[in-house]
């Protein structure tokens, strides 16, 4: 028994050592983890908040869970944690917003977790990505991306991407590719992440628009896809800037066309696909949703909160660094827009061969 206690004590000692060592880092204001703020801190925060918030009908009174339906370190995770960091830094919310990763099933596991709370539950948010729309349409999620299953809180950003090409080709623009592909059907390989994803949608749309036959090669990881394009195993891919901007700038991958509403700030000389005469402008939408049946005043509160987040300088820097396009929409606008996005995805996914 003595020995056991000794063991426990030593374990505790090591732990406390580790904990003390990391103390300085914790006290920096920029910490984005969800610290269990002590009650005193919580109160002062609440007080300062009470003075700054303009008369809102509803204010949260307990910690809010922010479900990230993907793993740590991914694009979605980084975005949500940045927002939480900004909320803490500027004390925008009287309670803690706690990010919770629930990965699996391309987001479905996370949304299942969200839906475990009753309809109208006010303290759980979740972020969305392309799979929020694609999974139900391809029959791999029980949740419809509309108001029957979710309340829409705010739309944040769009992810522009760039069509890239392996160095072994000297294609300069989409016309070059289309010309070659017409002469050699099935020869060019387009790599993408997942089987019914934004990447696949872009390729099948291009196939349909230009009447060509590119072959789609699915990958399960962006890193492996990038490596395959660098090694020339795959000819083409679409990639968001955040993922391979270094390669685009260094010329280790050639850039063909931007998929964006406007030309990209990082590549002002790269024409968009639309400018090149192909109506390819499908981009990923990132927004926030809640359970269905949440009252309008609650939605208005969160919508206002995230509007404040997107107005900060920190957020603008973050969006620029990650080459996203700021596209904030409040809850009413996002609800209407989501219906359009759903319709678009249904059209696009009809082009992906099913059987």
Within residues 43-72, the interface with another protein by CB under 8 A covers 65, 72
Distance CA 193, CA 191 (A): 7
Q: Is the dihedral of CA 335, 336, 338, 342 positive or negative?
A: positive
Which residue, 97 or 154, has its beta carbon nearer to another protein?
97
Scanning residues 277 to 316, which ones bind another protein (CB under 8 A)? none
Instruction: Check residue 104 for interaction with another protein (CB under 8 A).
Output: yes
Token duo for residue 176: 């070059």
The residues facing 326 across adjacent strands are 157
Q: Which of 42, 60, 105, 271 binds another protein (CB under 8 A)?
A: 105
Q: How far is the CB of 55 from another protein (least distance, A)?
A: 32
Judged by beta carbon, residue 96 or residue 283, the one nearer another protein is 96
End-to-end Cα spacing for the chain: 65
Counting contacts by CB under 8 A, is residue 112 touching another protein? Answer: yes
The residue whose two tokens read 């790269």 is 270
Greatest Cα pair distance, the chain, in angstroms, is 81
Structure-block tokens of residue 171? 């294609």
Residues numbered 160-219 forming contacts with another protein, rule: CB under 8 A? 186, 189, 194-196, 215-219
Site for another protein in 227-266 (CB under 8 A): 227-228, 230-234, 244-247, 250, 252
Cα–Cα distance for residue pair 43/56, rounded to 1 Å: 19
**Residue list 76-95, contact with another protein (CB under 8 A):** 78, 85
What is the 3-state secondary structure of 64-81? EEEEECCCCCCHHHHHHH
The answer to whether residue 350 forms part of the interface with another protein (CB under 8 A) is no
Is 141 near another protein (CB under 8 A)?
yes
Task: Quote the CA–CA distance of 320 and 315 in Å, as a whole number.
Answer: 8
Binding range to another protein, per CB under 8 A, among 13-21, 145-153, 154-162, 266-274: 13-21
Instruction: Provide the pairing of β-strand 124-127 with 64-68.
Output: parallel
Q: Is 346 in the site for another protein (CB under 8 A)?
A: no
- Smaller CB distance to another protein: residue 21 or 268? 21
**Count of beta carbons in the 10 Å neighbourhood of residue 54:** 5
Residue number with CB closer to another protein (192 or 292): 192
Nearer to another protein, 11 or 336 (CB): 11
């Amino acid at each position: 028994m003595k020995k056991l206690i000794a063991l426990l004590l030593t374990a505790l000692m090591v732990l406390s050592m580790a904990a003390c060592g990391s103390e300085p880092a914790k006290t920096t204001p920029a910490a984005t983890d969800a610290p269990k703020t002590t009650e005193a801190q919580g109160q002062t925060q609440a007080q300062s908040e009470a003075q700054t918030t303009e008369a809102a009908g509803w204010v949260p009174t307990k910690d809010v869970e922010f479900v990230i339906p993907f793993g740590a370190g991914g694009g979605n995770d980084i975005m949500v944690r940045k927002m939480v960091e900004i909320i803490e830094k500027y004390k925008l919310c009287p309670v803690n917003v706690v990010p919770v990763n629930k990965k699996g099933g391309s987001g479905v596991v996370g949304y299942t977790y969200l839906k475990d709370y009753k309809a109208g539950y006010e303290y759980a948010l979740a972020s969305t990505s392309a799979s929020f729309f694609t999974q139900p349409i391809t029959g791999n999620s029980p949740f419809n991306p509309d108001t029957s299953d979710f309340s829409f809180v705010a739309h944040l950003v769009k992810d522009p991407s760039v069509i890239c090409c392996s160095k072994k080709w000297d294609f300069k623009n989409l016309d070059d590719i289309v010309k070659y592909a017409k002469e050699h059907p099935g020869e060019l390989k387009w790599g993408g992440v997942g089987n019914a994803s934004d990447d696949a949608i872009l390729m099948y749309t291009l196939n349909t628009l230009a009447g060509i036959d590119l072959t789609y090669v699915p990958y399960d990881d962006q890193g492996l896809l990038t490596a395959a394009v660098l090694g020339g195993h795959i000819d083409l891919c679409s990639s968001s800037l955040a993922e391979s901007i270094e390669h685009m700038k260094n010329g280790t991958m050639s850039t063909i066309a931007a998929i964006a509403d406007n030309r990209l700030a990082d590549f002002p000389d790269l024409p968009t696909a639309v400018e090149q005469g192909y109506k390819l402008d499908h981009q990923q939408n990132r927004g926030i949703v809640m359970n269905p049946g949440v009252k309008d005043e609650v939605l208005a509160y969160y919508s206002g909160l995230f509007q404040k987040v997107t107005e900060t300088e920190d957020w603008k820097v973050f969006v620029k660094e990650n080459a996203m396009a700021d596209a904030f929409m409040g809850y009413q606008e996002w609800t209407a827009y989501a219906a359009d996005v759903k319709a678009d995805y249904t059209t696009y996914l009809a082009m992906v061969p099913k059987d």
